[in-house]
Amino acid sequence: MIANYNEENEKLQKELTKQNVNDLNHLLSTTEGRRFIMWLFKLCGQESTSFTGNSQTYFNEGMRNVALVVKFEALKPGVNGMNLLQKAEQEYFVLANDIKENIKKGVGKNNDGIKR
Q: What are the b/e assignments for 51-84, b being 16+ CB within 10 Å?
A: eeeeeeeeebeeebeebeebbebbbebeeebeeb
> Which has more confidence, 106 or 113?
106
∠ CA 93-85-82, nearest 5°, is 140
Domain region containing 47: 2-111
The answer to whether residues 63 and 44 touch, using CB atoms and an 8 Å cutoff, is yes
- 63 found inside a domain: yes
Average pLDDT score over residue span 91-100? 96
State how many domains the chain has: 1
- 116 found inside a domain: no
In the prediction, which pLDDT does 42 show? 96
Average pLDDT score over residue span 25-45? 96
In the prediction, which pLDDT does 92 show? 96
